[in-house]
Structure 1
Amino acid sequence: MLPMHVFLVGMSASGKTSLGRRVASNLGLRFIDTDQRVEEMLGMSIGQIYASLGEDFYHNAETGVLIELVGGAPCIVSTGSGLPMIKENVQLMQNHGVIIHVDRPLDQILAEIRTERNSGLNGKTHEDVIYEFNHHIGFYRACADYTLDNSHGLQVGLGNLTKLVEGLK
């Protein structure tokens, strides 16, 4: 069992969910994806939530999920790319766990979204993703306790995240 929550922050397509889910499974830990939890809670996709209820509503729902999570048993949490942009969310994560920035170069993120429609991108253009990357990267770096370089492929990323998580026990 983990002594605290592990919060994975970073851009869409950075590897937060892929790495977090696999590491949690390999170590017998619980895994939560905040985007997926919000979708399940509201019965809509993120794109539908944005379109019908708005971005602010989505981010409020995301904060609600985070509040619910921090009250439960420690787990590995993949956060939405915008979650660390809200000060209250960062404070919740800092007070209840460790924050790991899953860092992946922009060119790799763009290559990934060219080959696979990433659900977290919600129809954003490459220009939108570049803007988001440049706007968010400073927030990720500022709030993170650790930075995980995820530029060397899935297996290296899995190994490095596993070592980080095991070191917390």
Structure 2
Amino acid sequence: MDSLTGCMVICDFGCAHSSSDNSSDSNEEVGTRYYKAPEHLFGSKIYSSSTDTWSLGAIYAQLLIGYPVFAGENDIEQIGRVVSRLGKPSKKVEQDEMHDYPDTNKLMFFSDSYSDDDYEDEYSSESDDEEMEALRASRIPLKQVIDDENLSEIDKQLILGILTWSIKDRLTIPEVL
């Protein structure tokens, strides 16, 4: 980050397409897991600017607090980390946006019968105390994490506006600027 201009440049051309390729459908894997937007964790192949905005928000939050906000070891655990930090998506987001994601109904993260204790119980016999403490720490809601870090109100609002379930409600780059 350039402290004089306030500009941050993040470059990763792994999924870049030529400017003549107008297709928004892609069969490629999009993004590094810690920074992957939830719609892609649920199998969406539609790549949009909101995908990049989510990644930017996750990286920005990590730079401010000093550790990854969502640090799953695989895609399923990554979804669990997002749910732990953001809570479940609203019914409106599930109905209006997530119904198009191929893997939404394959997972039980949003069912009323699923609880965080189910996840911890499943892994508690295999995990040592350090791993269990890391799991518990990953359950702290995002709002509490950024409040605990004494961030500026602007930084808090940016992070909360970017890291949302809804691609429609996620801040755009012009709004971030």
Same fold (TM over 0.5): no
TM-score by length of 1: 0.28
- Ranked by relative contact order (alpha carbons within 8 Å, sequence separation 6 or more), the top structure is 1
TM-score by length of 2: 0.28
* Bigger proportion of residues as helix: 1
